[in-house]
Structure 1
Amino acid sequence: MESTDIKPTEPSSKLTCENEVKESCGKRKCEETDKRFGKKRKGNKQLKPGERYVPPPQKRNPGVSFNQEHFSETSYYFEGGLRKVHPYYFDFKTYCKGRWIGKTLLDVFSSEFRAEPIEYYRRAVKEGRIRLNEIPVEDLNITLKNNDFMRNTVHRHEPPVSSQQLQILVDDGEVVVVDKPASLPVHPCGRYRHNTIIFILGKEKGLCGLHTVHRLDRLTSGVLLFARTLEVSKKLDQMVRERQLEKEYVCRVDGEFPDGEIVCEEPILVVSFKVGVCRVDPKGKECRTVFQKLSYNGRSSVVRCLPLTGRTHQIRVHLQFLGFPILNDPIYGSYAWGPDRGKGGLVGKNDQQLLDALIDEHRSKESLHLLDISDEVLAGSRDESNVGPSEAVLSKNESVSGAQKENSCRLSVSLQTEDPNPTTDTSSNDKDAQTHNVHTEEGESPPVNRTANPETRVVRDPLCAECKKVRPDPTEKDLVMYLHALRYKGPDFEYSTQIPDWAKEDWVQD
């Protein structure tokens, strides 16, 4: 395919107040209505010389979901058994975080967005790609204020996923049930947006406005439920809270799993939302999983899993604790946890050392893509050694001020990175996980790309470092983890899928 250099469409200001006060006109009054925020600026209010006007924050519509405008940002193409996305321009948006107030944009980009060199941001400013309150930034030395709204246009590349078609098991007007292929995230997260279940259902099946009932890890396959309406969603959520939803998974683990029913009730703590790592810890949340061996081929066992709670990575963490990690689990089967790979909860490292060891191991194997972490995290992984796991998460437990508090969950997307959600392998009723992911689900209108023409097929961008890289396509082994959601059963319904090939007794192990 011939490469072409295409720049994003020149952005236009969305502020309708024509008398915007500038630094040289500190005493000018503006009595016109700011239509974007639906409020009038007080005619008797004057800005001090040199003071910059900041519009009040815009409240997000909680009923807004992804729509055709978002689906039209780019298009798919299929190659070598993979679903791929044409690169496209995209706006990352955020309100000024509490810790940024009083700092310059240069300070923020230098300290928190190290995936790109400062020279990149200087060039982006010249191209009009960085905007503050919808006005192009002319100087990175501008000082940030509370409620400043920032927009950063980037050239976005998404990793390829399996080309396996989504199979809709049920669509009865109340729920949509799909057989999720491995390798696809449920909803936008990290580097994925169009290569997600939510977007594929919307773009190819016309199914929009769906409510997620539970989530599955990107590499996990199987039954995935969506509610058609808010009423049905609340009904299913209630079933989850009251433990009326029975979930059954199958997996293939390393070694010979014990006979009989094995119950694990170890509490689980999130180590890092950014990297998506959990571990057994007395300070974690209570959970319970029941396991039973189904078969053994001399090297690995197929195990039936019944998670009775819905913690992040619950099945995977409990199997690791028992000493039988999922055979190809890129996180909990790693020797970064120690020679016994975390069996019995014994790690011998603090949390930051563990995260660094995981990243180093996959970097050496050139398999960092299996960790689902952004370039921002990789760039800053060594610089967070003095920060606790919860403090290292940009959008978690952050102190905000003023009107930010009301919308802090929805507006916490970083300028350059969407937070890589810790998607769960069980039905999630974990409030922390739900709060962390709220900005990627039905609760907010996602960022909008300015060049929404899939026929443009942007191949190269002069500022984009990713355009200059050559990344090998993932192999078939990279696209699947041996964990499958086999069945979901409620008081008056049951949805199930076929057992995957790797879980059959005659499966040949490499």
Structure 2
Amino acid sequence: MIPIIKNGEKENSTKRRKLDDKDPHESIPKNNKPKDLDDIIYYFEKGLRKVKPYYYEYQAFAKGRWLGRSIFDIFCTEFRDRSRDYYAYAIETGLITINERIVTKEKMVKNQDIIGHKIHRHEPPITADPIKIISTENDLIVIDKPGSVPVHPSGRYRHNTVLHILQKDFGFSNLYTLNRLDRLTSGIMFLSTKKEKAQEFEQLMQERKIYKEYLCRVIGEFPTDDVICDKPIMTVSHKLGLNVVHPKGKPCTTIFHRESYNGRTSVVRCKPITGRTHQIRVHLQYLGYVIANDPLYNHNVWGQQKGKGGIDEASTKSVIHNLINEGISQEECLVLNLPKKQNSDEESLEEQGQGSSEKCKECSIPNFPDPEPHQLFIWLHALKYEVYGCKYETELPYWAKDDFAGDININ
């Protein structure tokens, strides 16, 4: 008999990274060890886990197009999320440096210069729901990840991530992720302190020797018979993380089975045979049953049919254009109540927040309203995995239970 591991109980058994030319928050620190983690303060408020704002320095070698330009001009034109007044202040006070030295606004950038920016970081909040440890056996750390928690530091997230929370709360370190879940998705994740385990797990995934089941809640009455979707999927916008069914896409297959229907939405069990990005979400959209609270694939830019049956090239370009115009980005502004177009040419964060009643006393960035906890994730959950002769399973998410009524106002 295969042992079943459920909710922690077993039954029967720096490198230096470049400063991104579009978003300074996408830059990578001087080393990959979170040396500042001990000083970070997590706190909980109204169902959210928050990180007390902190200073953090980014460094990057000067890009070719920066050479011969003043440091002030570079920041004002390349990084639009702060005002010109801020960049003047940051250079004058040494928050922005060249080769770790304070310079004037007129200082020209030369080849091999190292640009530094010590910035006051405000991380977006995530759910206060804890990361649950399911198992720590066989060189595997199996967790139940809440929706809204990104796995790796990226974008505006650094400490509000799976890797840093596991280190801070549980003492884990040097972790390798074996499978990945989107920030908005909850459920089973595998990690290990052994690099070899990660390589082994990846090989098993490529050979399709790992069985997995997801649960989701979709709009409409899903068919009672099993539905198999084997349409190929292709990424059409890396900026948005957007994928669609496309004849030139990568082959993938998902098996769907309806669990229940409440007159508005259906709970559907999903068995992805392959593991493409957004595979379940895209296949459901193609079938005409989008995940009910999916902010990307259930967006009104897809039209009245919400992308059912696929869309042509012209429509795809229109969808991408409209999503970008609305300020949608891959990581932020999808569910979180964050400022839109935060890196646009039109306005900086300060300008967007001029109507905000509160601003950070340290850096004058507006304090935007917090999202509600239920806005932070989608109704998609990795429920069950079978690998290495073991079954790992979580409890049903609350939105998948028969008494759930949170879908009443979903369109």
TM-score range, shorter chain: 0.7 to 0.9
Q: What is the alpha-carbon distance in structure 1 between the residues aligned to residue 209 and residue 126 of structure 2?
A: 33
2:126 corresponds to? 161
The Cα shift of 1:375 comes to 6.7
Q: Residue 244 of structure 1: which of 209, 213, 218 is its match? A: 209
Matched with 2:114 is: 149
Deviation string, structure 1 residues 455-501 (Cα, Å, up to 9, x no partner): xxxx9444x242xx242221132023100000111142221111112
Alignment deviations for residues 24-63 of structure 1 (CA, whole Å, 9 cap, x no partner): xxxxxxxxxxxxx9xxxxxxxxxxxxxxxxxxxxxx99xx
Partner residue of 2:353? none
Counting only pairs closer than 5 Å after superposition, residues 31-46 of structure 1 correspond to structure 2 as: none
1:174 counterpart SS class? coil
For residues 142 and 482 of structure 1, the distance between their equivalents in structure 2, rounded to whole angstroms, comes to 51
| Distance of aligned partners of 1:479 and 1:376 in 2 relative to their CA distance in 1, 3 Å threshold | closer
Q: Does 1:111 align with 2:77?
A: yes
> Which runs of no fewer than 5 residues in structure 1 stay unpaired?
1-36, 38-59, 384-415, 417-458
Q: What is the identity, as a one-letter code, of the residue corresponding to 1:479?
A: L
Deviations along 1:85-121, one digit per CA (max 9) or x if unpaired, are 1111111222333444454434432433111222321
Deviations 1:258-293 (A, max 9, x none): 232222222222233333322223333222222121
Q: Could you tell me whether the CA contact under 8 Å between 1:125 and 1:136 is conserved in 2?
A: yes
Q: Deviations over 1:417-451 (max 9, x none)?
A: xxxxxxxxxxxxxxxxxxxxxxxxxxxxxxxxxxx
Q: What is aligned with 2:222? A: 257
Residues 338 and 348, structure 1, Cα contact 8 Å, conserved in 2: no
2:261 matched to 1:275? no
Local SS of the residue matching 1:232: helix
* Contact in 2 for aligned 1:73/1:88 (Cα 8 Å): no
Q: Deviations over 1:175-202 (max 9, x none)?
A: 1111111121112122111111111110
CA–CA separation in structure 2 for the residues paired with 1:163 and 1:223: 18
Q: Work out whether 1:71 is the aligned partner of 2:37.
A: yes
Equivalent residues of 2:70, 2:108 under 8 A apart: yes
SS at match of 1:200: helix
The CA distance in 2 between the partners of 1:372 and 1:265, in whole Å, is 32
Alignment-derived partner of residue 376 in structure 2:
479
Describe the SS at the equivalent of 2:142: strand
Contact (CA 8 Å) 1:191, 1:374: kept in 2 or not? no
Asked if the contact 1:331/1:371 (under 8 Å) is kept, the reply is: no
Counterpart check, 1:370 vs 2:334: yes
Match of 2:264 among 294, 299, 304: 299
* CA apart distance, 1:352: 5.8
Aligned pairs for 1:117-132 (under 5 A) are: 117-132=83-98
CA separation in 2, counterparts of 1:356 and 1:376? 15
- Change in Cα spacing, 1:231 to 1:140, as seen in structure 2 (3 Å) is farther
User: 1:163 and 1:473, CA in 2 relative to 1: closer, same or farther beyond 3 A?
Assistant: same
Quote the offset at 1:127 in angstroms.
Answer: 1.0
More strand by share: 2
| Alpha-carbon distance, 1:234 to partner | 1.3
Secondary structure at 1:136's aligned position in 2? coil
Spell out the pairing of 1:2-13 with structure 2 (5 A cutoff): none
2:343 counterpart residue number: 379
Aligned CA RMSD, in angstroms, stands at 3.0
1:222 aligned to 2:222?
A: no
Structure 2: which 5+ runs fail to align? 1-15, 17-28, 350-358
Aligned residues of 2:51 and 2:125 also touching (Cα < 8 A): yes
What letter matches 1:369 in structure 2?
A: C
Deviation at 1:345, TM superposition (A): 1.8
- The question of 1:195 aligning with 2:92 is answered no
Counterpart CA distance in 1 for 2:67 and 2:385 is: 47
| Matches of 1:102 and 1:318, distance apart in 2 | 50
Residues in 1 aligned to 2:277 and 2:304: alpha-carbon distance in whole angstroms: 24
The answer (yes or no) to whether the contact 2:336–2:375 under 8 Å persists in 1 is no
Post-superposition shift, 1:166?
Answer: 1.7
In the alignment, residue 235 of structure 2 is paired with which amino acid?
V
Q: CA deviation at 1:162?
A: 1.4
Is 2:62 aligned against 1:92?
no
What's 1:136 paired with? 102
Q: Distance in 2 between matches of 1:476 and 1:223?
A: 20
Matched with 2:250 is 285
Identity of aligned residues (%): 42
C-alpha contact (below 8 Å) 1:325/1:332 kept by paired residues: yes
Given candidates 325, 336, 340, the residue that maps to 2:301 is: 336
Higher Cα Rg, which structure: 1
Normalised by the length of structure 1, the TM-score is 0.66
269 and 101 in structure 1: CA distance in 2 versus 1, 3 angstrom threshold: farther
User: For residues 171-226 of structure 1, what are the alpha-carbon distances to aligned partners after superposition, in whole Å with 9 as ceiling and x for unaligned?
Assistant: 12601111111121112122111111111110111011110111112221110110
Residue 354 in structure 1 maps to residue 319 in structure 2: yes
Task: Give the secondary structure class of the aligned counterpart of 2:309.
Answer: helix
Q: CA 1:139/1:345 → structure 2, altered by over 3 Å: closer, same or farther?
A: same
- Tell me if the contact between 1:185 and 1:192 (Cα under 8 Å) persists in the aligned partners: yes
Structure possessing the higher relative contact order (Cα contacts under 8 Å, 6 or more residues apart): 1
Residue type at the aligned position of 2:239: K
- The reply to whether residue 490 of structure 1 matches residue 387 of structure 2 is yes
Q: Secondary structure at 1:343's aligned position in 2?
A: coil
Give the deviation of 1:135 after TM superposition.
2.5
Letter in 2 for 1:501: Y
C-alpha contact 2:333 2:339 (8 A) present in aligned 1: no
**Is the Cα contact below 8 Å between 1:244 and 1:491 reproduced in 2?**
no
Superposition pairs of residues 417-436 of structure 1, within 5 angstroms: none
Q: Distance in 2 between matches of 1:251 and 1:257?
A: 12
Measure, in 1, the Cα distance between the counterparts of 2:284 and 2:249: 16
Aligned amino acid, residue 323 of structure 1: G
